[in-house]
Amino acid sequence: MDQGVAAVIAAGTAGVVGVAGSFIGVWVGRRQVRDQAQVEHKQWLRGQRQEAFVEFLALWDEAVLNLEERVLDEYAMEILDQEDGWDATNMSVSEQMHRDHVPVVRAGERMLMLGPENVVQAGTAMLDALGDLAVGVGAQYVPPEGDAGRFDMYWAAQVNAAGRRQEFVAQASRLLQTAPDTKRP
Protein backbone atom coordinates (compact mmCIF):
# COMPACT_ATOMS: atom_id res chain seq x y z
CA MET A 1 0.00 0.00 0.00
CA ASP A 2 1.46 3.32 -0.86
CA GLN A 3 1.37 6.47 1.19
CA GLY A 4 -1.41 8.07 -0.84
CA VAL A 5 -3.86 5.24 -0.23
CA ALA A 6 -2.93 5.12 3.43
CA ALA A 7 -3.56 8.86 3.72
CA VAL A 8 -6.96 8.51 2.05
CA ILE A 9 -7.90 5.62 4.34
CA ALA A 10 -6.70 7.56 7.39
CA ALA A 11 -8.65 10.66 6.32
CA GLY A 12 -11.78 8.59 5.69
CA THR A 13 -11.46 6.85 9.03
CA ALA A 14 -10.91 10.20 10.77
CA GLY A 15 -13.98 11.61 9.04
CA VAL A 16 -16.16 8.66 10.05
CA VAL A 17 -14.87 8.82 13.64
CA GLY A 18 -15.43 12.59 13.68
CA VAL A 19 -19.02 12.29 12.45
CA ALA A 20 -19.70 9.42 14.87
CA GLY A 21 -18.18 11.45 17.69
CA SER A 22 -20.42 14.38 16.83
CA PHE A 23 -23.53 12.20 16.90
CA ILE A 24 -22.46 10.65 20.20
CA GLY A 25 -21.79 14.14 21.60
CA VAL A 26 -25.25 15.33 20.56
CA TRP A 27 -26.86 12.21 22.03
CA VAL A 28 -24.98 12.55 25.33
CA GLY A 29 -25.78 16.26 25.49
CA ARG A 30 -29.49 15.65 24.94
CA ARG A 31 -29.44 12.91 27.59
CA GLN A 32 -27.82 15.29 30.08
CA VAL A 33 -30.41 17.99 29.38
CA ARG A 34 -33.25 15.48 29.83
CA ASP A 35 -31.73 14.13 33.06
CA GLN A 36 -31.27 17.66 34.40
CA ALA A 37 -34.88 18.52 33.56
CA GLN A 38 -36.06 15.43 35.45
CA VAL A 39 -33.96 16.34 38.48
CA GLU A 40 -35.27 19.91 38.48
CA HIS A 41 -38.87 18.69 38.12
CA LYS A 42 -38.43 16.28 41.04
CA GLN A 43 -37.02 19.08 43.19
CA TRP A 44 -39.91 21.37 42.22
CA LEU A 45 -42.46 18.62 42.93
CA ARG A 46 -40.88 17.89 46.31
CA GLY A 47 -41.19 21.56 47.29
CA GLN A 48 -44.77 21.75 46.05
CA ARG A 49 -45.67 18.61 48.00
CA GLN A 50 -44.12 19.93 51.17
CA GLU A 51 -46.07 23.18 50.91
CA ALA A 52 -49.30 21.36 50.08
CA PHE A 53 -48.92 18.89 52.97
CA VAL A 54 -48.18 21.64 55.50
CA GLU A 55 -51.11 23.76 54.27
CA PHE A 56 -53.45 20.76 54.33
CA LEU A 57 -52.47 19.89 57.91
CA ALA A 58 -52.84 23.48 59.10
CA LEU A 59 -56.30 23.90 57.58
CA TRP A 60 -57.41 20.45 58.79
CA ASP A 61 -56.26 21.27 62.34
CA GLU A 62 -58.11 24.58 62.22
CA ALA A 63 -61.30 22.87 61.03
CA VAL A 64 -61.04 20.25 63.79
CA LEU A 65 -60.57 23.00 66.37
CA ASN A 66 -63.65 24.80 65.03
CA LEU A 67 -65.65 21.58 65.31
CA GLU A 68 -64.46 21.05 68.89
CA GLU A 69 -65.70 24.54 69.76
CA ARG A 70 -69.18 23.56 68.57
CA VAL A 71 -69.49 20.52 70.82
CA LEU A 72 -72.47 21.07 73.10
CA ASP A 73 -72.21 21.15 76.84
CA GLU A 74 -74.98 20.71 79.43
CA TYR A 75 -75.56 24.46 79.78
CA ALA A 76 -75.95 25.00 76.02
CA MET A 77 -78.39 22.09 75.77
CA GLU A 78 -80.53 23.55 78.58
CA ILE A 79 -80.70 26.89 76.79
CA LEU A 80 -81.66 25.23 73.51
CA ASP A 81 -84.38 23.26 75.32
CA GLN A 82 -85.77 26.38 77.00
CA GLU A 83 -85.80 28.44 73.84
CA ASP A 84 -86.79 25.58 71.54
CA GLY A 85 -83.91 26.71 69.32
CA TRP A 86 -82.76 23.30 68.12
CA ASP A 87 -83.76 23.70 64.47
CA ALA A 88 -82.39 27.20 63.97
CA THR A 89 -79.16 26.36 65.77
CA ASN A 90 -78.79 23.14 63.78
CA MET A 91 -79.07 25.07 60.50
CA SER A 92 -76.61 27.73 61.67
CA VAL A 93 -74.06 25.18 62.86
CA SER A 94 -74.42 23.18 59.62
CA GLU A 95 -73.68 26.29 57.55
CA GLN A 96 -70.65 27.16 59.70
CA MET A 97 -69.29 23.64 59.44
CA HIS A 98 -69.68 23.71 55.67
CA ARG A 99 -67.78 27.02 55.45
CA ASP A 100 -65.01 25.58 57.64
CA HIS A 101 -64.83 22.43 55.49
CA VAL A 102 -64.40 24.16 52.11
CA PRO A 103 -60.77 25.39 52.56
CA VAL A 104 -59.72 21.96 53.82
CA VAL A 105 -61.26 20.28 50.78
CA ARG A 106 -59.47 22.71 48.45
CA ALA A 107 -56.13 22.09 50.16
CA GLY A 108 -56.91 18.38 49.98
CA GLU A 109 -57.50 18.64 46.24
CA ARG A 110 -54.08 20.23 45.78
CA MET A 111 -52.52 17.47 47.86
CA LEU A 112 -54.40 14.88 45.77
CA MET A 113 -53.02 16.36 42.55
CA LEU A 114 -49.42 16.23 43.77
CA GLY A 115 -49.52 12.68 45.15
CA PRO A 116 -48.01 10.14 45.61
CA GLU A 117 -50.63 7.44 46.08
CA ASN A 118 -49.82 6.46 49.69
CA VAL A 119 -50.04 10.09 50.87
CA VAL A 120 -53.18 10.62 48.80
CA GLN A 121 -54.84 7.67 50.52
CA ALA A 122 -53.85 8.96 53.96
CA GLY A 123 -55.11 12.47 53.07
CA THR A 124 -58.39 11.11 51.74
CA ALA A 125 -58.84 9.20 54.99
CA MET A 126 -58.29 12.47 56.87
CA LEU A 127 -60.97 14.20 54.79
CA ASP A 128 -63.36 11.32 55.54
CA ALA A 129 -62.52 11.56 59.25
CA LEU A 130 -63.22 15.29 59.18
CA GLY A 131 -66.62 14.56 57.63
CA ASP A 132 -67.32 12.01 60.37
CA LEU A 133 -66.41 14.60 63.01
CA ALA A 134 -68.83 17.06 61.43
CA VAL A 135 -71.59 14.44 61.43
CA GLY A 136 -70.82 13.73 65.09
CA VAL A 137 -71.09 17.42 65.97
CA GLY A 138 -74.24 17.81 63.86
CA ALA A 139 -75.88 14.87 65.64
CA GLN A 140 -75.65 16.83 68.87
CA TYR A 141 -77.89 19.56 67.48
CA VAL A 142 -80.87 17.32 66.82
CA PRO A 143 -83.64 17.81 69.40
CA PRO A 144 -83.11 15.25 72.15
CA GLU A 145 -85.36 12.27 72.56
CA GLY A 146 -83.04 11.02 75.26
CA ASP A 147 -79.39 11.84 75.64
CA ALA A 148 -78.17 8.27 75.29
CA GLY A 149 -75.49 8.21 72.64
CA ARG A 150 -75.68 11.91 71.75
CA PHE A 151 -71.91 12.31 71.93
CA ASP A 152 -70.86 8.74 71.08
CA MET A 153 -70.58 9.40 67.35
CA TYR A 154 -68.43 12.47 67.93
CA TRP A 155 -66.05 10.80 70.38
CA ALA A 156 -65.57 7.79 68.11
CA ALA A 157 -64.92 10.10 65.15
CA GLN A 158 -62.42 12.09 67.20
CA VAL A 159 -60.38 8.99 68.04
CA ASN A 160 -60.48 7.95 64.37
CA ALA A 161 -59.46 11.44 63.21
CA ALA A 162 -56.42 11.50 65.48
CA GLY A 163 -55.24 8.19 64.06
CA ARG A 164 -55.82 9.33 60.48
CA ARG A 165 -53.78 12.48 61.09
CA GLN A 166 -50.90 10.47 62.53
CA GLU A 167 -50.93 8.16 59.51
CA PHE A 168 -50.86 11.12 57.10
CA VAL A 169 -47.95 12.74 58.93
CA ALA A 170 -46.07 9.43 58.91
CA GLN A 171 -46.60 8.92 55.16
CA ALA A 172 -45.73 12.52 54.28
CA SER A 173 -42.64 12.47 56.52
CA ARG A 174 -41.43 9.22 54.99
CA LEU A 175 -41.79 10.71 51.52
CA LEU A 176 -40.11 14.03 52.31
CA GLN A 177 -37.27 12.50 54.34
CA THR A 178 -36.32 9.98 51.69
CA ALA A 179 -33.52 11.10 49.41
CA PRO A 180 -34.50 11.29 45.75
CA ASP A 181 -33.61 8.26 43.64
CA THR A 182 -30.77 9.14 41.26
CA LYS A 183 -31.22 6.08 39.08
CA ARG A 184 -32.57 6.61 35.61
CA PRO A 185 -36.19 5.53 35.15
Instruction: Identify whether 38 is part of a domain.
Output: no
The single-letter DSSP state of residue 70 is T
Pairwise pLDDT comparison (137 vs 14), residue with the higher score: 137
Residue 82 belongs to a domain: yes
Using one digit for the tens of pLDDT, what is the confidence trace for 45-95? 888 999 999 999 999 999 999 988 888 776 667 776 666 777 777 777 788
In a domain? residue 110 = yes
The residue type found at 135 is V
Domain total in the chain: 1
CB 57 within 8 A of CB 169: yes
User: Residue 175: its pLDDT value, please?
Assistant: 86
- Asked whether residue 125 is assigned to any structural domain, the reply reads yes
Residue 102: what pLDDT? 92
pLDDT tens column, 12-44? 776 766 766 666 776 766 777 677 778 888 888
**Residue 150 resides in a domain:** yes
In a domain, 84, yes or no: yes
pTM, two decimal places = 0.75
Domain that holds residue 139: 45-177
Say if residue 148's pLDDT is above 60: no
Mean residue pLDDT across the chain:
81
Nearest to 174 by CA among 124, 127, 109, 122: 122
In a domain, 121, yes or no: yes
Output 136 or 35, whichever has higher pLDDT.
136
For residue 99, give the CATH number of its domain.
Answer: 1.20.120
Phi (first) and psi of residue 2, to 5 degrees: -95, 175
